[in-house]
């Protein structure tokens, strides 16, 4: 899911890139004059060192022979007037054979439409974040993923068969919605199937698949230079994910929160069978006991998770902080990612560098999160991003003849921002109770996605106003976020809360919430879920089942 999410998000750089273009002169179509000399003859040359992209000289070139054109002195254009392009444009095809930019001439008069391609895709991510929580909390994690895989397939087909620029943009919006819903739901499901000690590793594994998508999109885009075929190649494999219900059962935590006793029991037994282990009947009876279900159903009937989330002052404060924190790092991340084609250097090399630096950074942060905690890592990432923004400003001003230095700096800033997104996702999921976790994570992601809508503008048009301006924005936003997260508690080593009271207990200064107080003999849902984790000698195999299908075999062997 996350690999596909990354591929789709970076694909805009290859589907609708910014291309070098100049006015087409029909009189030169049948001549042997190369494109460079055609520019010298027909395109005004500006003082900033580039040819005009939307103007040409008002000269009737059909009146001149090849010999006269070959001897033409471009200085003779001193008094020649310029007019807008009337016959279309020529495009530089050294890198791309077919793009949406060229197909619908998204330049000059249509430049404003091209500017909307990336922001509207991120708007799709925003909309997906809004609906992910309510849908997944109501119909389940598994069904939500399947439905929105189909949504992605439909959006991809729309791109492939687009006959108009707005059909192309709308189809990419649909792809973004499906991408975000699947990504959020898969992360929440992974966290619900994972014990505290392995939760950061599983979330980081999700992020690692995401970062691997950078290398995948570089390879595929390098081999497939036609934008329609490229969208088809990256979308078609999603059909294979429709077999997810056969491979991965529904989250037992969600089933229990809805009172689906039999389905929860079957889900646990399925995981146990695939892990080649068994669960003692008495332990399974405790987990699915009527007392546990009655308590859970009573909570669900009594409380509306959305209203309670906004009514509780502490939860609301955490939600606002998580939303802003994630918005800060995603703003930086997408501002660089959506404008890799605008950085100095080759688009494929820049994208590859982004992936090569991001993968080891995510692996390192996976270890560091388990050792030093979530908050310390967030402080570090925002601090590094702020410093990187300041260094970028210095390089642009004092090293204008070394643009590659700034390109590398921007790629490193993106790398650190990616790690911040990973930490934010983990801590957001660990703060809120199960019955509102997906909703809270969806809202925080929606806030971040809404802010990120403006990121392509920061990385693109804003740079034309003043080149160091995007770097200045990165530094300021990161500095603000670093002070904002002071209001969050540390969640390292603490079990995921099932109730609001357990969420409030996270503010206790104990290093491990499970060891902070003795276990109550009256089992609640959260206690039954963690029973195997607390008492491995009594029920060692139970740990493997609750850990989740992906890590069951490895985790059981360690025990």
Dump pLDDT digits (tens) for 183-194.
Answer: 888 888 887 777
Section 15-36 average pLDDT: 79
Report the mean per-residue pLDDT for the chain: 80
Q: Label each residue of 53-112 as H, E or C.
A: CCEEECCCHHHCCHHHHHCCCHHHHHHCCEEECCCCEEECCCCCCECHHHHCCCCHHHHH
Section 417-422 average pLDDT: 89
Residue 476: which of 489, 499, 458 has the closest Cα?
458
DSSP state letters, 220-283: HHHH--BHHHHHHHHHGGGGGGGGHHHHSPPPHHHHHHTT-HHHHHHHHHHHHHHTT----HHH
Decide if pLDDT at 143 tops 80: yes
**Using CA atoms, how far apart are residues 372 and 375, in angstroms rounded to an integer?**
8
In this prediction, residue 75 carries a pLDDT of: 63
Per-residue pLDDT tens digits for 299-314: 554 455 667 788 888 9
Decide if pLDDT at 151 tops 90: yes
Return the residue matching tokens 């109730």: 499
| Contact partners, residue 18, CB within 8 Å, separation at least 6 | 101, 114, 341, 342
pLDDT confidence of 545, banded at 50, 70, 90? very low
In this prediction, residue 551 carries a pLDDT of: 39
Per-residue pLDDT tens digits for 234-282: 999 999 988 877 777 888 877 877 777 788 888 888 878 777 877 777 7
**Using CA atoms, how far apart are residues 405 and 401, in angstroms rounded to an integer?**
9
Instruction: Tally Cβ neighbours within 10 Å of residue 114.
Output: 22
Q: Which among 56-70, 155-169, 308-322, 359-373 has the top mean pLDDT?
A: 155-169
Domain boundary assignment for the chain: 2-15+105-249+302-487, 21-91
Residue 460: which of 450, 448, 473, 447 has the closest Cα?
473
Q: Which among 35-49, 152-166, 402-416, 440-454 has the top mean pLDDT?
A: 152-166
- Overall fold of domain 2-15+105-249+302-487: Growth Hormone; Chain: A; (1.20.1250)
pLDDT confidence of 420, banded at 50, 70, 90? very high
Lowest mean pLDDT: which of 125-134, 248-257, 355-364? 248-257
More confident residue, 552 or 491: 491
Per-residue pLDDT tens digits for 522-543: 344 444 444 443 433 333 333 3
In this prediction, residue 77 carries a pLDDT of: 63
Lowest mean pLDDT: which of 20-29, 70-79, 210-219? 70-79
Lowest mean pLDDT: which of 31-40, 82-91, 141-150, 525-534? 525-534
Section 50-66 average pLDDT: 80
pTM of the entire predicted model: 0.75
In this prediction, residue 553 carries a pLDDT of: 35
pLDDT confidence of 550, banded at 50, 70, 90? very low
Decide if pLDDT at 297 tops 60: no
Q: Label each residue of 162-229 as H, E or C.
A: CCCHHHHHHHHHHHHHHHHHHHHHHHHHHHHCCCHHHHHHHHHHHHHHHHHHHHHHHHHHHHCCEHHH
């Amino acid at each position: 899911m996350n690999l596909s999410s990354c591929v789709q998000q970076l694909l805009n750089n290859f589907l609708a890139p910014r291309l070098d273009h100049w006015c087409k002169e029909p009189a030169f179509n049948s001549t042997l004059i190369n494109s460079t000399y055609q520019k010298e003859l027909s395109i005004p040359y500006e003082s900033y060192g580039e040819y005009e992209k939307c103007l040409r000289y008002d000269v009737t070139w059909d009146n001149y022979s090849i010999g006269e054109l070959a001897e033409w002195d471009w200085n003779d254009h001193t008094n020649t007037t310029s007019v807008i392009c009337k016959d279309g444009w020529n495009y530089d095809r050294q890198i791309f054979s077919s793009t949406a930019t060229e197909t619908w001439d998204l330049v000059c008069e249509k430049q404003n439409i091209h500017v909307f391609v990336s922001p509207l895709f991120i708007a799709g991510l925003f909309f997906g974040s809004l609906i992910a929580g309510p849908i997944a909390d109501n119909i389940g994690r598994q069904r939500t993923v399947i439905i929105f895989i189909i949504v992605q397939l439909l959006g991809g087909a729309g791109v492939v068969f687009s006959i108009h620029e707005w059909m192309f943009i709308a189809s990419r919006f649909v792809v973004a919605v499906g991408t975000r819903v699947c990504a959020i739901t898969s992360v929440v499901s992974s966290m619900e199937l994972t014990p505290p000690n392995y939760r950061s590793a599983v979330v980081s594994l999700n992020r690692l698949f995401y970062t691997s998508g950078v290398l995948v999109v570089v390879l595929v885009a390098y081999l497939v230079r036609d934008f329609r075929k490229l969208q088809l190649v990256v979308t078609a494999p999603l059909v294979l994910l429709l077999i997810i219900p056969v491979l991965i059962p529904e989250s037992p935590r969600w089933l229990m929160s809805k009172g689906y006793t039999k389905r929860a029991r079957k889900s646990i037994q399925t995981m146990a069978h695939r892990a080649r282990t068994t669960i003692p009947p008495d332990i399974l009876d405790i987990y699915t006991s009527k007392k546990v279900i009655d308590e859970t159903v009573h909570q669900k009937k009594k409380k509306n998770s959305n209203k309670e989330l906004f009514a509780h002052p502490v939860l609301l404060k955490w939600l606002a902080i998580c939303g802003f924190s994630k918005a800060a790092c995603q703003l930086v991340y997408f501002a660089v990612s959506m404008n890799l084609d605008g950085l100095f250097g080759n688009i494929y090399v820049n994208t590859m560098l982004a992936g090569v630096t991001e993968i080891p950074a995510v692996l390192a942060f996976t270890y560091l999160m388990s050792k030093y905690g979530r908050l310390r890592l967030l402080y570090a990432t925002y601090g590094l991003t702020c410093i990187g923004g300041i260094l970028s400003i210095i390089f642009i001003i004092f090293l204008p003849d070394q643009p590659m230095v700034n390109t590398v700096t921007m790629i490193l800033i993106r790398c650190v921002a990616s790690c911040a997104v990973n930490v934010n996702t983990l801590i957001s999921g660990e703060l809120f109770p199960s019955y509102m976790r997906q909703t809270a994570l969806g809202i925080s992601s929606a806030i971040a996605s809404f802010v990120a809508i403006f990121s392509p503008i920061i990385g693109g048009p804003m740079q034309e106003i003043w080149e160091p301006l995007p770097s200045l924005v990165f530094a300021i936003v990161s500095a603000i976020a670093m002070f904002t997260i002071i209001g969050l508690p540390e969640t390292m080593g603490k079990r995921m809360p099932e109730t609001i009271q357990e969420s409030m207990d996270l503010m206790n200064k104990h290093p491990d919430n499970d060891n902070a107080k003795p276990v109550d003999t009256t089992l609640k849902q959260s206690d039954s879920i963690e029973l195997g984790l607390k008492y491995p000698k009594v029920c060692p195999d139970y740990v493997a089942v609750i850990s989740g299908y992906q890590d069951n075999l490895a985790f059981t062997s360690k025990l």
